[in-house]
Amino acid sequence: MSPSFLDRFKNGLSKTRALLNADVGDLLRGHRPLRPEDLDALEEALLAADMGVPAVQEAMEHLRSKSGEVWTQGVEAMRALLRDEILAAVDRPLRSQPFSAKPWVVFVVGVNGVGKTTTIGKLAATWKAQGLTTLLCAADTFRAAAAEQLEIWARRTASPFHRGAEGADPSAVLTDGLRAARSHDYDAVLVDTAGRLHTKGNLMAELSKMARVAAREVPGAPHETLLVMDATVGSNGLAQGREFAKAAGVTGLVLTKLDGTAKGGAAVAVVRELGVPIRYVGVGETLEDLLAFDAAAFADSLLAD
């Protein structure tokens, strides 16, 4: 892993780290002897970072059960235990090997405003830098502005783009997009989906129809379904996440706006709740501000100096 990657992870998590440091920095850095009440302060800090009650309780149980070790071996033992807890909480295996099929079809789902379109642009740019061509497919036909936004990202990243008429059947737009991708031998297709339908039933019906259509056009598609979540809303976004996860068969998460929040601990809460790995994190608004999620880098960055 290049040092710049870790630095960028650290920058993205700087607000969350500042919060932890303000409350328990001394404790984690060994600037004073440990006291039993330190564990309570740590618990509060982790809750404030939005790690979520169940995950924090579990981590604290573990730390308390090892408190003998912590008291005798001091701060390094405490840091190592906490790092391992966080790492274990966010580390999940990938469901599939990216680009093991062509085109690699990725559905991108989530409520409006979380950063779906921006994430698609960033992913297209990342993959382009790896020599891959990605078609951006605007299957959110409810909002004309959504397709226009996506088209801007397609231009910015010099990527092919496909859209349908406003109000067209998203599955029909998707079918045409996938056929175009196949005939041009593109490496990947990123599919932008509607962020809001009138009822949950509609959402489910539409996403499962799109999945069926995708599988008909490209075997195994969608190969990934990424749920984009806004880290600044922290664990409050979980209820929405649950709905999408149920409706869309989510295989991975993208956590955006980590740069803007002290609630980076929400990563732990969402992985625990939804049971799928975080694939990427957004740490800013430009094309370069997307990082492939690395559980070890995440845990290290949270607890770094």
Q: Which of 86, 186, 284, 295 binds ligand GDP (CB under 6 A)?
A: 284
| Beta-strand pair 290-292/188-192 | unpaired
HSE toward the beta carbon, residue 300, CA cutoff 13 A: 13
Kindly report whether the peptide bond that precedes residue 277 is cis, defined as omega within 30 degrees of 0.
Answer: no
Angle at 108 between CA 49 and CA 128, to 5 degrees: 100
In 3D space, the residue among 234, 164, 159 whose CA is nearest the CA of residue 194 turns out to be: 164
Q: Which of 90, 289, 295, 299 binds ligand GDP (CB under 6 A)?
A: 289
Q: What secondary structure letter does DSSP report for 284? A: S
Taking the least distance from each CB to ligand GDP, the nearer of 77 and 189 is: 189
Q: What secondary structure letter does DSSP report for 49? A: T
Total residues at interface with ligand GDP (CB under 6 A)? 18
One-letter amino acid at 172 equals: A
Q: Which of 40, 84, 285, 288 binds ligand GDP (CB under 6 A)?
A: 285
Cβ pair 16, 234 in contact under 8 A: no
**Minimum distance from CB of 193 to ligand GDP (Å)?**
10
Q: Which of 207, 259, 298, 299 binds ligand GDP (CB under 6 A)?
A: 259
Angle at 241 between CA 238 and CA 246, to 5 degrees: 130
CB atoms within 10 A of CB 103: 26
Is residue 157 within the footprint of ligand GDP (CB under 6 A)? no
Cβ pair 90, 267 in contact under 8 A: yes
Interface positions, 80-119, toward ligand GDP (CB under 6 A): 112-118
Looking at 87-246, which runs of residues are DSSP E strands?
104-109, 134-138, 161-163, 188-192, 224-230
**Minimum distance from CB of 146 to ligand GDP (Å)?**
7
Token pair for residue 78? Answer: 């405490």
**Minimum distance from CB of 120 to ligand GDP (Å)?**
8
Chain position whose Cβ is nearest to ligand GDP: 282
**Minimum distance from CB of 90 to ligand GDP (Å)?**
18
**Minimum distance from CB of 113 to ligand GDP (Å)?**
5
Taking the least distance from each CB to ligand GDP, the nearer of 103 and 115 is: 115
Taking the least distance from each CB to ligand GDP, the nearer of 27 and 229 is: 229
Interacting span for ligand GDP (CB under 6 A) from 59-67, 172-180, 237-245, 257-265: 257-265
Is residue 282 within the footprint of ligand GDP (CB under 6 A)? yes
**Minimum distance from CB of 40 to ligand GDP (Å)?**
33
Binding residues for ligand GDP, rule: CB under 6 A, are 112-118, 149, 195, 256-257, 259-260, 282-285, 289
